[in-house]
Structure 1
């Protein structure tokens, strides 16, 4: 697994199921948040993780197939690029090899004290998350 990806198992709870008998679409957003934050906290240096908070700016979800209570599913997220205070993730929620949903999301990095946007350190993006040193991958805007 590449440094810029992270996979976590998902436990489907009875409260996740809607009136149609499958996981409610809104629940997928919670799973995306869980896997993105777990990815950041796993790979970022402790001082960076303590300094930074994350807020979602945008999610684009493509639902492929429903998930059900007894399903064994995973969420895998990949940090595609960093641009200043923004991070761009692609997440796949799958049951085995079967893709249930694909999510593209944009997140903003905030300083926990000021709650203002804060750049992601270039060295953290390169060394901890495996992002290559390219102008189009890490922009200072």
Structure 2
């Protein structure tokens, strides 16, 4: 699948550090969630938001390096695969060109009225692909 990549940058602040002066792992998960939400908000339409909602089924995060105070971090995300009611989203967190963490999240699309899983329609598949 040709993918649309969304990225944003943050600077590490003292309030998110743990006792080792590294970013606390809870914040990585928050970045993963934020990246997915921001990306969806850019690509979706009001009509899609009225019909559907995404829920998380699984997160996997590999921590490769520590992020520290004042580091400038780039968070990038894309949808890697779509099948049935599920999609797999990747989030990469980098300092300069070095990968510091990588996450894979399995999402499930729900019908907003019934709150039951629904096969991902072609109109959603298209918005995650590049032309």
Where structure 1 has 5 or more consecutive residues not aligned to the other structure, the ranges are 133-141
Q: C-alpha distance in 2, partners of 1:84/1:14? A: 42
Higher relative contact order (CA 8 A, sep 6+): 2
Q: C-alpha distance in 2, partners of 1:98/1:17? A: 20
Q: CA deviation at 1:69?
A: 2.3
Larger mean CA deviation between 57-66 and 13-22 belongs to 13-22
Using the size of structure 2 for normalisation, the TM-score is: 0.87
Q: Determine if the alignment matches structure 1 residue 77 to structure 2 residue 77.
A: yes
Q: CA deviation at 1:61?
A: 1.1
Q: CA deviation at 1:75?
A: 0.8
RMSD (CA atoms): 1.9
Q: Which residue of 1 aligns with 2:39?
A: 39
Using the size of structure 1 for normalisation, the TM-score is: 0.82
Q: Which residue of 1 aligns with 2:88?
A: 88
Q: C-alpha distance in 2, partners of 1:54/1:97? A: 30
Is the 2:13–2:70 contact (alpha carbons within 8 Å) kept by the matching residues of 1?
no
Q: Determine if the alignment matches structure 1 residue 52 to structure 2 residue 52.
A: yes
Question: Is the alpha carbon distance of 1:10 and 1:55 closer, same or farther for their aligned partners in structure 2, counting shifts above 3 Å?
Answer: farther
Q: C-alpha distance in 2, partners of 1:44/1:69? A: 34
Residue deviations 1:4-25 (CA, integer Å, cap 9, x gap): 2111223434331111111011
Q: CA deviation at 1:109?
A: 1.4
Where structure 2 has 5 or more consecutive residues not aligned to the other structure, the ranges are none
Q: SS in structure 1 opposite 2:37?
A: helix
Report the count of equivalent residues. 130
Q: CA deviation at 1:77?
A: 0.7
Instruction: Map 1:1-141 to 2 at 5 A.
Output: 4-126=4-126, 128-130=127-129
